[in-house]
Amino acid sequence: MHGYANPARFLKIARWFTMPLLVGGLLVTAAALVWGWTTAPPDRLMGDSVKILFVHLPAAWLGMGGWTAIAIASLVELVWRHPLAAISARAVAVPGAVFAFLCLASGSIWGRPTWGTWWVWDGRLTSMLVLLFLYLGYMALTNALAREGSSSRIAAIFGLVGAINVPIINRSVVWWNSLHQPPSITMGNSAIDPIYLYPLLASVLGFSLLFGGVVFARMRAILADAQAEARLRRKAQKAELAQATAGEA
């Protein structure tokens, strides 16, 4: 694992992966959505609004998966001090937050025609909103730490502590009575008719590839930022040194 600790080595691989992931993700997502939206028949109760599922569920999974990744990266950073761990955690935060927001927004739009309300404070919706706020807080914290050049260890602790919310989101519909329905897809079991399920899984794959592509692109951007900053700092130091010696002379 520490073989990739060298940013130059990592960048070589990341450069190769970013574009195929982004382009592939876009193509697969577009194909899955067209497939789902054109072939899926209306649901017996919800009618055509069932088609929001193809965006809502991948967004929900990736929103939660994103924080799981942040937690794992934080653990790796705290224990093994892997230099890329903090960068990858930071890179995951932005797409994670976007997907969490997409999940909330699509769910709200879906809730109005089906449940009869845009929003309720039940266990599932509330814990998902907390996840979005955790993402925003995490992004603010990592940005502040990076700007001040402080250690990212505080962010890693935040990432680990915030992870407690992920199983709560997952279990909320089982532990508590909620307006949101219980999970449709559990280990090896699906209450979703195959006619919806296959486009849905394709959409999950597409959005996941996109997620991966954005994470690689963000990691490269963060590394480039750090390099540029280091170069500027060296330049400034040199200039200062030159000034000091000129003043002495």
Partner 1 sequence: MTDSATKGLKPKHQRLVLLSLALVALIGAGLLAAWALRNQASYFYLPSEIIAEAPAPDQGVRLGGMVEMGSIEEQPDGTTIRFIVEDGTAKVPVSFTGIAPALFVEGSGVVAEGKMSADGVFVADNLLAKHDENYMPKELDGMTQEQVRKQVEATLE
The contact set with partner 1 (CB under 8 A) reads 40-47, 50, 53, 75, 78-81, 113-117, 120-123, 160-161, 164, 167-168, 171-172, 175-179, 181-184, 191-193, 195-196
The values of phi and psi at residue 180, to 5°, are: -70, 140
If the CB atoms of residues 137 and 167 are measured against partner 1, the closer one turns out to be: 167
If the CB atoms of residues 8 and 45 are measured against partner 1, the closer one turns out to be: 45
In the complex, least distance from residue 245 CB atom to partner 1, rounded to whole angstroms: 42
The amino acid at residue 227 is Q
In the complex, least distance from residue 214 CB atom to partner 1, rounded to whole angstroms: 28
Angle 243-246-249 (CA atoms, 0-180°, nearest 5)?
155
The tokens for 100 are 């969490």
In the complex, least distance from residue 75 CB atom to partner 1, rounded to whole angstroms: 7
If the CB atoms of residues 5 and 179 are measured against partner 1, the closer one turns out to be: 179
Residue that the structure tokens 């089906």 belong to: 114
**The residue count for the chain:** 249
In the complex, least distance from residue 77 CB atom to partner 1, rounded to whole angstroms: 10
The values of phi and psi at residue 46, to 5°, are: -85, -15
> Are 93 and 66 contacting, i.e. CB atoms less than 8 angstroms apart?
yes
If the CB atoms of residues 74 and 88 are measured against partner 1, the closer one turns out to be: 74
Angle 220-206-140 (CA atoms, 0-180°, nearest 5)?
45
In the complex, least distance from residue 85 CB atom to partner 1, rounded to whole angstroms: 13
Cα-only R_g, the chain = 22
If the CB atoms of residues 95 and 159 are measured against partner 1, the closer one turns out to be: 159
